Amino acid sequence: MRQWVLSFPFQLRFLFASRPEIMGWVLGIVYRVIATHLVKKAGHTHQVAKTGAVTLIQRFGSALNLNVHFHMLFLDGVYVEQSHGSARFRWVKAPTTPELTQLTHTIAHRVGRYLERQGLLERDVENSYLASDAVDDDPMTPLQGHSITYRIAVGSQAGRKVFTLQTLPTSGDPFGDGIGKVAGSSLHAGVAARADERKKLERLCRYISRPAVSEKRLSLTRGGNVRYQLKTPYRDGTTHVIFEPLDFIARLAALVPKPRVNLTRFHGVFAPNSRHRALVTPAKRGRGNKVRVADEPATPAQRRASMTWAQRLKRVFNIDIETCSGCGGAMKVIACIEDPIVIKQILDHLKHKAETSGTRALPESRAPPAELLLGLFD
């Protein structure tokens, strides 16, 4: 798997944040451009070769700024259909800097044409800019605009640049030479994990699916402001950003997506409705594959490909139900209760037991006996 990271100019970040349905169409354009590049580089056509990707749409930058960009985990090659119905994987070489630049140019050109057809982008001889009616009249619009441009959104300092702490600027691009840049868009594909590097792939998946705010880099100043440390210093030497409390809340509000916006997308052979998904995934789930009846025993390969609910709780939420919280000993799941009526009865019983077995209240305080006081002070 290879990570492809695509960033957009400020105007498109603003458009995608306010019009997420447009972002979905643009993501389809981006996937088709990169998928076509991989298929052609492997020496095949779309009729016989397929690739796939999982996209995590991130809305934040390292300074808690609104920055809609795509992290796409692409197959580092293509699956070629065989005559007997199976699929064989063909690896392709990593993209070169000229290839990344050409891909970025193609993406920027096609996205621009699409937005023009939708009436969202206007061009003149020198510049391109959003149409006046491209953005909805929404109360969140000013907060999003200030967040994208690194400016204070509320308070007496509204409109000014966010206060920063800086050190000596670094030299060179943090991505190195392996990046394509065209008209404010950039494409990077320098991180990959081989099929046998499962730990590296898991770290990569955790990185691109991380939350917007890292509590380890968040602190308060003596004056009560919020200080946030950047994961990597900017090229101008910026290491921290400082927010007033109200502006910090406004910055977080701008990062929240609109309701019912799915930030995880599956493409190609990984798409839920793809007939190739059952051929290339360990769980063998996909269109056209026979669903195993619950009573049928799972094969050893099927058991290895799936995780128990206890393992999923530990992996995703760091909740370990197989370790006793009191003594640290190992625990074993002896029953799985799924009947809602039975579950409610058990929870009601535990609640009643906790209420009745609580700490007994102490009696009311009272003064010492009078005869004891007389004996002490005679």
How many domains, the chain? 1
What range defines the domain where residue 36 resides? 2-136+177-209+259-268
DSSP letters for 195-208:
TT-HHHHHHHHHHH
Task: Inform me whether the pLDDT recorded for 62 exceeds 60.
Answer: yes
Looking at the chain, the whole-number percentage of residues with pLDDT higher than 90 is 28
Least confidently predicted of 85-94, 190-199, 365-374: 365-374
pLDDT tens digit sequence for 315-348: 778 888 888 888 888 888 888 888 999 999 999 9
Asked, for residue 185, whether it belongs to a domain, the answer is yes
DSSP E strands, the chain: 2-7, 49-50, 52-60, 66-74, 77-81, 87-91, 121-123, 128-130, 163-166, 179-182, 185-192, 218-220, 226-229, 238-243, 264-268
Model confidence band, residue 173 (pLDDT cutoffs 50, 70, 90): low
Least confidently predicted of 23-37, 114-128, 359-373: 359-373
- pLDDT score recorded for residue 8: 92
Asked, for residue 373, whether it belongs to a domain, the answer is no
Q: How many CA atoms lie within 13 A of 314 on its CB side?
A: 9
Asked, for residue 249, whether it belongs to a domain, the answer is no
Asked, for residue 203, whether it belongs to a domain, the answer is yes
Asked, for residue 86, whether it belongs to a domain, the answer is yes
Cα distance between residue 299 and residue 2, in whole Å: 31
Task: Inform me whether the pLDDT recorded for 272 exceeds 70.
Answer: yes
pTM: 0.76
Task: Inform me whether the pLDDT recorded for 378 exceeds 60.
Answer: no
Model confidence band, residue 356 (pLDDT cutoffs 50, 70, 90): confident
Asked, for residue 222, whether it belongs to a domain, the answer is no
Over the chain, what is the mean pLDDT? 83
Asked, for residue 114, whether it belongs to a domain, the answer is yes
Asked, for residue 366, whether it belongs to a domain, the answer is no
**Could you tell me where the DSSP H helices lie in 19-169?**
20-41, 97-117, 141-148
